[in-house]
């Protein structure tokens, strides 16, 4: 993987475990020569990932919608900063520019990015690994719910392992590297659905 889209919050939570983990992600990706593709902001976890990657000599590509340039305070120090018309173009750029996705903790926007990456993978719009870095158990309940969706039958058996999770970045990156794409919906026949 040469570039990874990192989805995370633009807020800074009270518990420093999240901001420290974001800094570690930026540093480690840069040390491994992996370009960080992210939301283009300089605040919160977003800024921590970008600043740490840049400080470690890495490449950082920010993608930010025009309407958020001022409110998210665009990070003008990125290796590249793409200003796009809106959120749809932003998420498409994340997919086009990266070889996989890592979700750090975040809010509604981060969840939107996660579910779109999973949905597009199920359908076949991409076959890239979708990782969750489960810092301090942040995603425990989400992972339980995803398992519940599969048990009920709303996530097909072929797609139940799309979300790759770990509490450790090294382990998550290895699992993402080893990821074998599943059979997507575009490849399925009506009887498979």
Residues 6+ apart with CB under 8 A from 111: none
Residue-level pLDDT, tens digit, the chain, 193 residues: 999 999 999 999 999 999 999 999 999 999 999 999 999 999 999 999 999 999 999 999 999 999 888 775 899 999 999 999 999 999 999 999 999 999 999 999 999 999 999 999 999 999 999 999 999 999 999 999 999 999 999 999 999 999 999 999 999 999 999 999 988 888 887 777 6
156 three-class SS = coil
* CB-based contact 42:74 (threshold 8 Å): yes
Q: DSSP of 115-151, one letter per residue?
A: HHHHHHHHHTS----EEEE-GGGTTHHHHHHHHHHHH
Ordered by start, the domain boundaries in the chain are 3-182
Residues 6+ apart with CB under 8 A from 66: 83, 84, 85, 86
For the domain 3-182, what is the CATH code? 3.40.50.450
* pTM above threshold 0.85: yes
Question: For residue 102, is it left (φ>0), alpha (ψ between -120 and 50) or beta?
Answer: beta
């Amino acid at each position: 993987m040469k570039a990874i889209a990192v989805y995370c919050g633009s807020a800074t939570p009270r518990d420093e475990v999240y901001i420290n983990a974001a800094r570690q992600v930026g540093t480690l990706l840069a040390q491994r020569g992996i370009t960080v593709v992210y939301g283009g902001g300089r605040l919160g976890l977003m800024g921590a990932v970008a600043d740490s990657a840049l400080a470690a000599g890495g490449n950082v590509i920010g993608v930010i919608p025009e309407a958020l340039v001022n409110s998210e305070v665009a990070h003008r120090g990125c290796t590249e900063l793409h200003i796009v018309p809106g959120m749809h173009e932003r998420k498409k750029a994340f997919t086009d520019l990266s070889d996989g996705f890592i979700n750090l903790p975040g809010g509604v926007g981060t969840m939107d990015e996660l579910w779109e990456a999973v949905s597009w993978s199920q359908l076949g719009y991409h076959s890239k690994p979708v990782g969750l870095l489960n810092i301090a158990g942040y995603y425990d309940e989400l992972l339980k719910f995803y398992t519940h969706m599969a048990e009920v039958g709303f996530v097909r058996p072929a797609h139940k392992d799309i979300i790759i999770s770990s509490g450790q970045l090294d382990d998550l990156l290895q699992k993402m590297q080893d990821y074998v794409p599943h059979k997507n919906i575009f490849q399925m026949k009506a009887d498979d659905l």
